[in-house]
Amino acid sequence: MSPSTVWFVVIGASVGAYLLKLTGLSVPAGALKRPSIRRAVELIPAALLAALVAVHTLTDEGALVVDFRLAALAAAAIALALRAPFIVVLLVAGGVGALGYVVAG
């Protein structure tokens, strides 16, 4: 990919992100007072983050894979279920992921 293409993509993504932010700011305040809309707006960030985690954990170059990353995600989920502090969750997930990477080669 040429440098000019990279810059075109970066600038295009920046403009798109700005327009998306502007669209969100232009929603009238009255529309967000409805309980159903408010609940949806509050849940969207968590759903998007969960989707990103799932895609990055379970895919590799467009193919569905089950490998050490899934074990690291499961370990993090177990640590969260046990109400471990966030730093412990990160260390557990990182440790399991690293161990799986070393074992899997």
Q: What is the pTM of this model?
A: 0.65
- The answer to whether residues 57 and 69 touch, using CB atoms and an 8 Å cutoff, is yes
CA pair distance 93, 78, nearest whole angstrom: 10
Note the pLDDT tens digit of each residue in 30-57. 888 889 888 988 999 999 999 999 999 9
Maximum CA pair distance of the chain?
Answer: 55
Length of the chain in terms of residues written: 105
Residue 46 token pair: 């968590």
Apex 19 CA angle, 49 and 44, nearest 5: 25
Q: Is 80 exceeded by the pLDDT of residue 105? A: no
- The answer to whether residues 87 and 80 touch, using CB atoms and an 8 Å cutoff, is no
Note the pLDDT tens digit of each residue in 68-91. 999 999 999 999 999 999 999 999
Residue 63 token pair: 């193919």
